[in-house]
Every structure is written in C-alpha cells, then in structure tokens.
Amino acid sequence: MATSDPVPRYLASWKNLAGCAGGLIGLALHFAGLAGSYWILVVIGLYGVGALAAPPERITLVTDPEEEAGRLRSELDSLVDRVRGFGGRVPGEVAPKLGEIAEVLRGMLDRPRELRADPDALHAVTRLVGTDLPLSVQTYLNLPWWYAAARGSGPELVRQLDLLHADAVRVAERFHAADAQRQADHTRYLEDRG
C-alpha cells in the first residue's frame, strides 16, 4: 500500500495484523474461560505482544532516476547561476571553470537510467554536485571580499575547481567508456564491411 497517511499505513501493516491475531487469541482465551475477569487486559496485552513481535515495515529510499537526476541538475544549475550573479565578487575565471564542470556533469545527468546503473558514477556525481562544488564556492563566499583579496583566496578557489574538474572528467570518461567502445566497434565493422 503506497500511502503517506500514517493511520491507513499502520492499519495495513504486518504489525497491526500480528497484533490483531494476538487479540483474537486473547478473545479465544476469554471465551474458553481462561482469561478471568481481566480478559480485556489479556486481549490488549496479546495485541501488544503480536504488534511488537512482527517485523518492521521495509523502508524503500529508491527514487525515480529521472527525478533524482532532475534534483541534482537543479542544484547544479542553481549553483552556476548563483556564482554568475556574484559577478565581480568571485575571480573572473571561476564562472567559466564552474561552467565547464557543470557541462561535464550534465552529460551524465542527461542519462539518468545509465547513471543509476553505475553506482560509482552516481556516487561521484552526487558528491560533486551536493558537497564538493557548493563547499568550495560557499567557503570562498563566506569570506569578506577584502579578506579574500588580502589572503589570496581567489587562486585557491580556482585551484579547487581545477581539481574538481579533473575529478569530474575522470568519472565521465569511465562513465562514457562503453559508448566510446561501441562507436569504435561500429567503425571497425563498417571498415570491414566495405
């Protein structure tokens, strides 16, 4: 049952069904004359024992690949737009470098089903979009402009983006390797056929 309302979800759960079975056993004991005058407590107690003994419901955290890729793309686009909006606040080479990284990542995000099938690539893309890029940019933006200029934090941000670009390219090359191999195989096939 796919519902977000907790009451119907619990009523249809294994815990409730096991509790009801325990309660029915308690009623059977009452009608057999074995529960005595405290039969209602026996019924409630056996319901509780059954509900606690039942296995917990499984929680599935799997989302739709298109939805997940769309969320990551939205976060990435938001970061790129935010950096462009700061104009002179960030060094001039930051926005183009961030754009290059975003382009590499979008190439994988445009293929959400294949990305979901490659857990290593999915983890790397999620880490880059959700943690590494925002952390680098936000850490720089947290510094007052005069402090960042005096300390030379701009070149450090550019260096971080260079490292993240290399990481994104490495992941993308591995992700697209099968397609490149298929293209090379098709070229060989066409050459052999002719």
pLDDT in tens, 99-119: 999 999 999 999 999 988 888
Note the pLDDT of residue 66. 85
Domain range for 151:
65-193
DSSP letters, 20-67, are HHHHHHHHHHHHTT-SGGGHHHHHHHHHHHHHHHSPPPP------HHH
Domain count, the chain: 2
Kindly indicate the confidence band of residue 169, based on its pLDDT and cuts at 50, 70 and 90.
very high
Within a domain: 93: yes
Q: Is the pLDDT of residue 63 over 90?
A: no
130 and 163 share one domain: yes
Note the pLDDT of residue 71. 92
Q: How many Å apart are CA 83 and CA 87, to the nearest integer? A: 7
Q: How many Å apart are CA 102 and CA 165, to the nearest integer? A: 9
99 and 141 share one domain: yes
The residue with greater pLDDT, 92 or 62, is 92
The structure's pTM equals: 0.64
Kindly indicate the confidence band of residue 149, based on its pLDDT and cuts at 50, 70 and 90.
confident
Taking each helix axis from N to C end, the angle separating 94-109 and 65-85, rounded to the nearest 10 degrees, works out to 170
Within a domain: 59: no
Alpha carbon separation from 135 to 9, 79, 115, 128 (Å, rounded): 39, 11, 23, 10
Kindly indicate the confidence band of residue 1, based on its pLDDT and cuts at 50, 70 and 90.
very low
Q: How far is CA 140 from the centre of its chain?
A: 25
Whole-number percent of the chain with pLDDT over 70 = 95
106 and 146 share one domain: yes
Q: How many Å apart are CA 87 and CA 19, to the nearest integer? A: 63
27 and 81 share one domain: no
DSSP state of 88: G
Mean pLDDT score, 16-24: 91
